[in-house]
Amino acid sequence: MRSPKQLAKLAMLLLLALLLLCNGVRNVHCSRIHENSVDLHSLIEFNKSITDDPQGALSNWDTTTHFCHWNGVNCTTTPPFRVKQLKLSGWNLGGQITSSLGNLNFLETLDLSYNNFVGPLPILGNLQRLQTLYLYHNRLNGMIPDSITNCSNLANLDLSANSLVGVIPPKLDLLSNMSYLNLSRNSLAGVIPTKLGFLSNLTVVDLSVNLLVGQIPPKLDLLSKLFYLDLSGNSLVGQIPPRLGFLKNLEYLYLGSNQLEGSIPDELGQLLQLEQLLLGNNKLTGEFPRMPS
């Protein structure tokens, strides 16, 4: 056993060595690291909860180099160098995605798609600059946190092909910049939020293969940029809203494998851009609307 005095001496020596290291060879790195320790510690926390890295994606995540040089990390080009992108797609990473990433408040893109992440979605409510969130093709479970509606710049949200449960956050309409929304192939239940129809920047909505119930929101006709709508493979009931025929730019409309009933509205015949229309496996009756030739 060492005495407390010896231990203190040892600690002092270590500190001295560290300081020398910082002021010497690795001058640049050390000073920069201290500039924004929030980002550094967020990434270290994230790295800690990775249990599996078969392809060595994180092998250069080493505190002797600045984190802006770590694989998958991209920073702002001016000081203080803050993390702008974290992209680690398709590396077969396992473990959980820590909510420490929610402290990277300069983050614009988070892409951890095509991995084997498990556990809940991270809480990212403070990421006001986040534009792209790709967590598709993982094994994430639990609910979509309401706090996601705080990421007011979010334009691309893809959480598809996971095991998410619960409802689509009803306040999704706060994300007025949303353009690409893909929540397909999960176990999301409840209704499609009616206010989705107010997200006028939407171009793609894919909610297919979930457990959604209730009716198709009647007022989606404000979505003038929408060209892709896939609600197939749910348990939607009621009629096809005639106003879907006002979606002038719609090219792909998939409503198959639901429990829709009634006749196919004539208005669908007004969809001049339509390339594909799949309505099979419902309880629809009557005739197919005449399409202008």
Least separation in angstroms between residue 249's CB and ligand NAG is 14
**Distance between CA atoms of 11 and 190, rounded to whole angstroms?**
58
Q: What are the residues binding ligand NAG (CB under 6 A)?
A: 44, 47, 58, 61-63, 74, 125-126, 128, 136-137, 147, 150, 152-153, 160-161, 176-177, 182, 184-185, 200-201, 204, 206, 228
Least separation in angstroms between residue 153's CB and ligand NAG is 4
Q: Which is nearer to ligand NAG, 128 or 163 (CB)?
A: 128
Residue least distant from ligand NAG (Cβ) = 125
Least separation in angstroms between residue 14's CB and ligand NAG is 18
19: which residues sit within 8 A by CB, 6+ positions away?
Answer: none
Burial of 203 (0-12, 13-18, 19+ CB in 10 A): middle
Least separation in angstroms between residue 46's CB and ligand NAG is 9
Least separation in angstroms between residue 262's CB and ligand NAG is 26
Q: Which is nearer to ligand NAG, 72 or 241 (CB)?
A: 72
Q: Which is nearer to ligand NAG, 41 or 283 (CB)?
A: 41
Q: Which is nearer to ligand NAG, 182 or 257 (CB)?
A: 182
**Distance between CA atoms of 262 and 284, rounded to whole angstroms?**
5
Q: Which is nearer to ligand NAG, 126 or 281 (CB)?
A: 126
